Amino acid sequence: MTSKGGKESDALARAFGALVEGLTFYDLANVAVAEMRVKVAFEELGRHKKDQLSRLESVAGSGAKDVAVMPGIYPINVVAKVECYVCGFVAETRAMPNTCPNCGAARYAFEKEISLSKAWEIAAESGRKSATLFGESAAHTAGRAKAVLEELARDEEGQAVQADRQLAGLRT
Ligand SMILES: [Zn+2]
Backbone dihedral region for residue 109 (phi beyond 0: left; psi -120 to 50: alpha; all else: beta): alpha
Taking only the tens place, the pLDDT of each residue in 10-29 is 999 999 999 999 999 999 99
Q: Please tell me the pTM assigned to this model.
A: 0.92
Å from CA of 32 to ligand 1 middle: 16
Å from CA of 36 to ligand 1 middle: 23
Q: Are 24 and 79 in contact (CB under 8 A)?
A: no
Å from CA of 76 to ligand 1 middle: 23
Residues 125, 163: Cα–Cα separation, whole Å: 9
Give the pLDDT of residue 53. Answer: 95
Å from CA of 154 to ligand 1 middle: 45
Å from CA of 74 to ligand 1 middle: 28
* Strand stretches in 29-141, DSSP E: 81-83, 90-92
pLDDT band, residue 5 (cuts 50/70/90):
low
Taking only the tens place, the pLDDT of each residue in 52-79 is 999 999 998 767 778 889 999 999 999 9
Å from CA of 27 to ligand 1 middle: 23
Domains of the chain, by residue range, sit at 3-77+113-171
Give the pLDDT of residue 1. Answer: 39
**CATH fold group of domain 3-77+113-171:** Ferritin (1.20.1260)
